[in-house]
A and B are shown apart, each in its own frame.
Chain A
Amino acid sequence: MLNVALPKGRLGEKVYDMFEKAGYECPSIREKNRKLLFTNEEKGICYFWVKPSDVAIYVERGAADIGVAGKDILLEYEPEVYELLDLDIGKCMMAVAAPNDYIDRPQRTLRVATKFERIAADYYASIGRDIDIIHLNGSIELAPLLGLSDVIVDIVETGSTLKANNLSVVERIVDISARFIANKASYEFKKNEISRVTEALAKQL
């Protein structure tokens, strides 16, 4: 039996569609009820929905054998998991954004508001820029508008929130998409099952 952690939300539904197409369907998952676990004994698969940022934790700690997590989460938390496939869905980018009239002053410490502390720290370390990280949990776009920070590091999907708030992308840090991940020990002991799923998903790419 393979335990699969799926990210709640639109992306998760797209991911489930891929699993279904790959031959690992579980019709009960489409029913509207309060169940948390969805098992198809015949196919040897059990799905559950978790918060997207928690998928990597479930997989790293072996509660799920496999799962699908955004590259942003993998970069930020560096979980001990195998990243087996780029599913090429949920595409967006991690970027630095700032007010449209922003002028960089390299002689000053840059104040960066973000939810992704490690990604921001690693990026600025790679270009040798001294920064002051301001960790926020949401509404990151607000920070530069109120003078809390100079720039933000955040996920940019369509750019419409930025545009509506007179912000724009100044630097693209890394491309983000959904990745198929596996627990390292599960990969060893359930190698055949995990390889079959990997191949079936890879065929759809």
Chain B
Amino acid sequence: MDYRESVLKSEEKTVFLLRSLYQSFGYRQYKMSKFEEYDLYAGNKDFLISDNIITFTDTNGRLMALKPDVTLSIVRNTKDTDGSVSKVFYDENVYRIPKGSHAYKEILQAGLECIGEIDNYCLGEVLYLASASLAAISQGYLLNISHLGIISGLLNDMALSPEQSQAALRLIGEKNMHELKRLCEAAGCSAADITRLIRVVSTNGAPEDVLPVLAECGCDAEAVRQLEELCRILRSAGEADHIVIDFSVVNDMSYYNGIVFRGYIEGVPNGILSGGQYDKLLRKMGRKARAVGFAVYLDFLERFYEQEPDLDADVVLLYTPETDQEILFRAVRQLTAEGLRVTAQKELPKKLRYGRVMRINPEGVLETC
């Protein structure tokens, strides 16, 4: 059946665009059931955005959860294979309490995961697809990229305790340089180390401006090389103007490592895309493979799209109890065949937004009122 594009909500159109984008790079669609065993999430609560999960007891007594996340389920259901990479994408509803809210919400989320022998090509491909996902939504987009290897290298050099490192990471995420400085001073770090850390994490911008600073500051050479190579791949894909290196993109270091990134769309107040390498999650789950992926939070876009149809129907077709039903039905079909949206009513509905009103006379002739 043919359908007019306008019947699709903007979020639905975006889902279709993303699906075809991911399929064109050989990603297979992953479908999951609405429920998973609660244990899967309970064991990895810190990996989840919110640790509030809707649970219920299944008929066989097992504690089940309405899925708050897709990645954990994908990781559990893919097998380690030698040499190859399992590439899947999804668009699924998840259930969780969004940050700053107190009630559960159904959230439409799309994304992809690459699990297996991840190399720089895979990372580049995923970063490109993240960038292209944002481009599918709007031309005003930015992809912020960070490398946790660089940050952890700097923090390790300063010999901070795990708690201090955790606090430092949170402050880096807030771009809160004044408190980061105080924290490092209180921890007894040297002035030179503090200056170096602040210089690196407060530098943000285009790769060509940031990469030389990283080299000058003597950051982890391998991580810097990797970042350089990935930026080259993105530049060759025409994404240069949309890439920002920004170390305030920080994900939990007990799950994530290496490249992490966040995507923004102009006009949407929150980051709508989030992703990174999460080899450490796989280690926790006893797996050998490496992994990278991202999610696009489509619920944030609800208020972004403006081109929603301004009318509920093009034509209100008024009829009377005496109107021959068959003639009426034929008239409605005739109008819909012309591509009009028609609502047949005996009375004009009060809150309907419509184009024009027509009447049908007993002979089946349509008259515009």
CB-CB under 8 A from B266, the residues of chain A are: 185, 189
Instruction: Flag if A185 contacts B174 (CB, 8 Å).
Output: no
Instruction: Flag if B176 contacts A83 (CB, 8 Å).
Output: yes
Q: Is the interface of A mostly helix, strand, loop or mixed?
A: mixed
Out of B100, B140, B244, B270, which one reaches A184, CB within 8 Å? B270
Given contacts A82-B248, A83-B174, contact A189 B269 (CB under 8 A): no
Out of A77, A82, A188, which one reaches B174, CB within 8 Å? A82
Instruction: Flag if B270 contacts A83 (CB, 8 Å).
Output: no
CB-CB under 8 A from A83, the residues of chain B are: 174-176, 179
- Could you tell me the distance between the alpha carbons of A61 and B176 in the complex, rounded to whole angstroms? 19
Instruction: Flag if B248 contacts A185 (CB, 8 Å).
Output: no
CB-CB under 8 A from A86, the residues of chain B are: 178-179
Q: Is A162 an interface residue (CB 8 A)?
A: no
Chain A, interface residues (CB within 8 Å), range? 20 to 34
- Could you tell me the distance between the alpha carbons of A183 and B244 in the complex, rounded to whole angstroms? 17
For chain B, the count of residues having a C-beta within 8 Å of the partner chain is 19
Instruction: Flag if A79 contacts B178 (CB, 8 Å).
Output: no
Q: Is B89 an interface residue (CB 8 A)?
A: no
Closest residue on chain A to residue B205 by CB atoms: A191
- Could you tell me the distance between the alpha carbons of A188 and B266 in the complex, rounded to whole angstroms? 9
CB-CB under 8 A from B142, the residues of chain A are: 188-189
- Could you tell me the distance between the alpha carbons of A138 and B351 in the complex, rounded to whole angstroms? 44
Instruction: Flag if A186 contacts B269 (CB, 8 Å).
Output: yes
Q: How far is the CB of B86 from chain A (nearest CB, A)?
A: 32
Q: Is A85 an interface residue (CB 8 A)?
A: yes
CB-CB under 8 A from A189, the residues of chain B are: 140, 142, 264, 266
Given contacts A61-B269, A184-B271, contact A82 B99 (CB under 8 A): no
Q: Is B268 an interface residue (CB 8 A)?
A: yes
Interface residues of B in 247-275 (CB under 8 A from A): 248, 264-266, 268-271
Q: How far is the CB of A89 from chain B (nearest CB, A)?
A: 14
Instruction: Flag if A188 contacts B270 (CB, 8 Å).
Output: no
Closest residue on chain B to residue A78 by CB atoms: B99
Interface residues of A in 57-93 (CB under 8 A from B): 57, 60-62, 77, 79-86
Q: Is B93 an interface residue (CB 8 A)?
A: no
CB-CB under 8 A from A82, the residues of chain B are: 174-176, 248
Q: How far is the CB of B273 from chain A (nearest CB, A)?
A: 12
- Could you tell me the distance between the alpha carbons of A86 and B171 in the complex, rounded to whole angstroms? 13
Q: Is B131 an interface residue (CB 8 A)?
A: no
Q: Return the CB mask of B69-107 against A: 1 if under 8 Å, else 0.
A: 000000000000000000000000000000110000000
- Could you tell me the distance between the alpha carbons of A79 and B100 in the complex, rounded to whole angstroms? 7
- Could you tell me the distance between the alpha carbons of A80 and B269 in the complex, rounded to whole angstroms? 10
Q: How far is the CB of B359 from chain A (nearest CB, A)?
A: 47
- Could you tell me the distance between the alpha carbons of A186 and B99 in the complex, rounded to whole angstroms? 19
Q: Is B133 an interface residue (CB 8 A)?
A: no
CB-CB under 8 A from B140, the residues of chain A are: 189
- Could you tell me the distance between the alpha carbons of A187 and B266 in the complex, rounded to whole angstroms? 11
Q: Is B165 an interface residue (CB 8 A)?
A: no
Q: Is B277 an interface residue (CB 8 A)?
A: no
Closest residue on chain B to residue A62 by CB atoms: B269
Q: Is B144 an interface residue (CB 8 A)?
A: yes
CB-CB under 8 A from B144, the residues of chain A are: 188
CB-CB under 8 A from B174, the residues of chain A are: 81-83
CB-CB under 8 A from A84, the residues of chain B are: 175-176
Closest residue on chain B to residue A190 by CB atoms: B266
Q: How far is the CB of A131 from chain B (nearest CB, A)?
A: 21
Given contacts A79-B100, A80-B99, A82-B248, contact A185 B264 (CB under 8 A): yes
Interface residues of B in 138-165 (CB under 8 A from A): 140, 142, 144
> Which of B142, B178, B264, B270: most chain A Cβ within 10 A?
B178
- Could you tell me the distance between the alpha carbons of A79 and B248 in the complex, rounded to whole angstroms? 15
Interface residues of B in 262-308 (CB under 8 A from A): 264-266, 268-271
Instruction: Flag if B178 contacts A184 (CB, 8 Å).
Output: no
Q: How far is the CB of B349 from chain A (nearest CB, A)?
A: 34
> Which of A61, A62, A80, A184: most chain B Cβ within 10 A?
A184
Instruction: Flag if B269 contacts A60 (CB, 8 Å).
Output: yes
CB-CB under 8 A from A183, the residues of chain B are: 269
Interface residues of B in 145-201 (CB under 8 A from A): 174-176, 178-179
CB-CB under 8 A from A186, the residues of chain B are: 269
11 pairs, CB–CB < 8 Å, chain A vs chain B: A57-B100, A62-B268, A62-B269, A80-B99, A83-B179, A84-B176, A85-B178, A184-B264, A185-B265, A185-B268, A185-B269
Interface residues, chain B, CB within 8 Å of chain A?
A: 99-100, 140, 142, 144, 174-176, 178-179, 244, 248, 264-266, 268-271
Interface residues, chain A, CB within 8 Å of chain B?
A: 57, 60-62, 77, 79-86, 183-189
* 14 more A-B residue pairs beyond the given contacts A60-B100, A83-B176, with a C-beta to C-beta distance below 8 A: A57-B100, A60-B269, A77-B100, A82-B174, A82-B175, A84-B175, A185-B266, A185-B268, A186-B269, A187-B175, A188-B244, A188-B264, A189-B264, A189-B266
Which 3 residue pairs of A and B lie closest in terms of their CB atoms, listed nearest first?
A62-B269, A82-B175, A83-B176
